[in-house]
Amino acid sequence: MSDTRLIPLSALQHYAFCRRQCALIHNEQAWSENWLTAQGQQLHQRVDHGLPESRKGIRYERGVEVSAPTLGLTGKLDLVEVEIATGVCFPVEYKRGKPKQDHIDLIQLCAQALCLEEMLNINVSHGAIWYWQTRHRHQVEITPELRQETLSIIDATRSLLNSGQTPKAKYEKKCQACSLYDLCNPKLTFRDTSRAYVKTIYQENADEETAK
Amino acid sequence: MKKLQNSLYITRQGAYLHKERETLVIEVEKEKAMQVPIHAIQAIYCFGNVMVSPFLMGFCGENGVHLAFFTEYGRFLGRLQGKQTGNVLLRQTQYKTAELKPESISRNIIAAKITNSRSVLYRHLRNHGENADVNQAIVQMSSSLRRLQKRDNLDSIRGIEGEAAAFYFGVFDQLILPSVGKGFEFNTRSRRPPLDRVNALLSFLYSVVGNDITAALQGVGLDPQMGFLHQTRPGRDSLAQDVLEEFRAWLVDRLVLSLINRKQIKANDFEIEVSGAVKLKDDARKTVLVALQNRKQETVKHPFLNEDVPIGLLPHVQALLLARHLRGDLAEYPPFVPR
């Protein structure tokens, strides 16, 4: 058995959202639910628990576990659609929200495709993301550019997690939506006032003395 | 911030606790005495002969509900620990810091302890007028604090802690009002067993609050046994004892003084054994726990965070700040020194 640490697929998305969040969740094992994450969990419970079924020449497999040692990834896929005749795989990721401006969701889907490719030694050319808020399914092409971007995020995530370091917080607007807000406390470490604070403990002492 | 939920203190002898669907049921003599939704509970403390069903234990373990057992007299026996959580890297840093440079955290904690103890004395002067002895103790403690700032080895930090504690407890007797009457004389701090009523109250509450701190430390992934100031000793939660130093005077001593001075606890609320050991009676223990529980619901402005925090969450906040310091987010560990 190799002892290399496999990075969970979910870490890529956490990394893309916030490097500190990624380190907090995957290294410091901090986790806290807010209503956004709770809703996501509920949605995934529904998706993951379906039994495999076949319809019109396609097999639907849910909660498919994958690991790709070469990529250094492991994780669980919401849904994989397999064309029975050809064996072509098509990963589908379920998202609670709606399509985003950035590539976060696409990168996660691409990483899933890469895992399937490594495990099955096939080519995965397309996948889809299903958004719960808009009830729309978006077909995504796994282009060379997307692959490149995904690989570099995988590399960056791996080196962050292997470093054991948790990056300092930087307070931004998106912090408000983060379920780890209280555990991270971005405003607190954004500007570290601990030295001054400790000094005042002794300082107040001196003030009281002179007041006498 | 993490939600402050209810802590349940079960002092009724022979009670049986079990889980019925999503509720917790407390049975006494096969009758339902209480039924509450289980998700609203953060901690269950059982005193003496209290039984807990395996399913309820399982629920507590899985959901991070703190379940601890004490003797009837409040001595800690054990606690249920669920799956080991938190960051092993954090604990590794904690061990390294404890071994290689425990001084700054220890010094900050003792600075808080001295300041907070001195505040109890100031408070007494404000409320009850001048008192030369108390004044003298304040001056001496201020001098300890001043010298503490320059100390950078553990032994001398501990030495200063000891002398400041002696000044403080030297006048503690005078904080108990003359109107209280006999039975609450306090000479010196005694424990295992406490030899007078005041010490019995102090020991009981230090033990209960110490346990809250242990739970909070575990909650953020720290090892409550590996302390900085208190030497490591098997079976002792040294880190919890370290953090407890910040809270002794401000939380426990003040509560004990007000229970005594307001005559909520009376001399006949205690039993004295042949050995001279003093113990709280069953009903009185309940009075004390209710008073603590009420206090935990009050909020206070956290001096470092500058946020209103329920007192019951303070151990959690300090545990979090300690973890943040160890992980390098904060240059110093900011101890709890309310203004």
With a cut of 60, say whether residue A122 has pLDDT above it. Answer: yes
Instruction: Please indicate if any CB of chain B lies within 8 Å of the CB of A192.
Output: yes
Which one is predicted more confidently, A41 or B181?
Answer: B181
Q: Which of A164, A166, A197 sits opposite B304 (nearest CB)?
A: A197
Q: What is the DSSP letter of B173?
A: G
- CA nearest to B319, candidates B164, B204, B215: B215
Across the interface, whether the CB atoms of B332 and A194 are under 8 A apart is answered yes
- Which residues lie below 8 Å from residue B99, measured CB to CB, with a gap of 6+? none
Contacts of B337 in chain A (CB under 8 A): 201
| CA A130/CA A134 separation, integer angstroms | 9
Q: Count Cα atoms within 13 angstroms, Cβ side, for B178.
A: 1
Q: A192 vs B329: CB contact, 8 Å cut-off? A: yes
CB pairs under 8 A between A and B: 76
Q: Do B320 and A185 touch (CB under 8 A)?
A: yes
* CA–CA distance, B115 with B119 (Å, rounded to integer): 6
B17 Rama sector, left if φ>0, alpha if ψ -120 to 50, beta otherwise: beta
Q: How far apart are CA A75 and CA A44, in angstroms?
A: 14
> Both tokens of residue A25?
């969740």
- CA-to-CA distance for A191 and A171, rounded, in angstroms? 10
Q: What is the pLDDT of residue A48?
A: 62
| Residues B191, B338, B222, B328, Cα dihedral to 10° | -140
pLDDT mean over A182-206: 79
pLDDT, tens digit only, all 339 positions of chain B: 555 567 788 888 889 999 988 888 999 888 888 888 887 787 888 888 899 999 999 888 877 787 888 777 666 777 787 665 667 778 888 999 988 899 999 999 999 999 999 999 998 888 888 888 888 999 999 999 989 988 889 899 999 999 999 999 999 888 888 887 777 777 777 777 787 888 889 988 998 899 889 888 887 788 888 999 887 777 678 899 999 999 999 999 999 999 999 888 888 888 887 777 888 888 888 889 889 988 888 889 989 888 888 888 888 889 888 988 998 888 899 999 998
Find the CB nearest B330 among A164, A192, A205.
A192
Quick count: other Cβ atoms within 10 Å of Cβ A163? 11
- HSE at residue B334, side-chain half, CA atoms within 13 A, is 26
Mean per-residue pLDDT, A46-62: 74
CA-wise closest residue to B307 among A195, A32, A33, A182: A182
By C-alpha distance, the chain A residue nearest B337 is A201
- The residue among B76, B21, B67, B18 whose CA lies nearest residue B41 is B67
Contacts B324 to A, Cβ<8 Å: 185, 188-189
The pLDDT value recorded for residue A7 is: 87
Q: CB–CB of B332 and A198 under 8 A?
A: yes
**Which chain A residues are closer than 8 Å to B90 by Cβ?**
28
Q: Which residue of A has its CA nearest to B86?
A: A29
Q: Return the pLDDT at A193.
A: 86
**3 state SS of B48:** coil
Which of chain B's residues have a Cβ under 8 Å away from the Cβ of A27? Answer: 87, 89
Least confident piece of the model among A11-20, A53-62, B290-299? A53-62
For residue A205, name the pLDDT band (cuts at 50, 70, 90). low
Q: Which residues of A touch B137 (CB under 8 A)?
A: none
Task: Pick the residue of B332, B337, B339 with the most A CBs within 10 A to test the interface with A by mutation.
Answer: B332
What pLDDT does residue A210 have? 46
Could you tell me which of B55, B153, B149 has the C-alpha nearest to residue A200?
B149
Q: Do A206 and B115 touch (CB under 8 A)?
A: no
Backbone angles phi, psi at B154, to 5 degrees: -55, -40
Q: pLDDT at position A212, please?
A: 47
Question: Across-strand partners of B278?
Answer: B272
- CB-CB under 8 Å, B87 with A30: yes
CB A195 to CB B332 under 8 A? yes
The percentage of chain A sitting over the pLDDT mark of 90, rounded to a whole number, equals: 8
Quickly list DSSP for B78-106. Answer: EEE--S--S-HHHHHHHHHHHHH--HHHH
pTM: 0.73
Q: Which of A169, A194, A202 sits opposite B149 (nearest CB)?
A: A202
Residue B232 CA to its chain's centroid (Å): 19
Q: What is the pLDDT of residue A211?
A: 45
Check A168 against B327: CB less than 8 A apart.
no
The residue type at B324: R
CB contact under 8 A, A201 and B115: yes
Cis peptide before B193 (omega within 30 of 0): yes
Average pLDDT of the residues in A74-87 = 85
A184-205 average pLDDT score:
80
Find chain A residues with C-beta within 8 A of B304's C-beta. Answer: 193-194, 197
Q: What is the pLDDT of residue A208?
A: 56
C-alpha A172/C-alpha B60 separation (Å) is: 36
CB B221 within 8 A of CB B323: yes
Q: Chain B within 8 Å of A145 (Cβ-Cβ)?
A: no
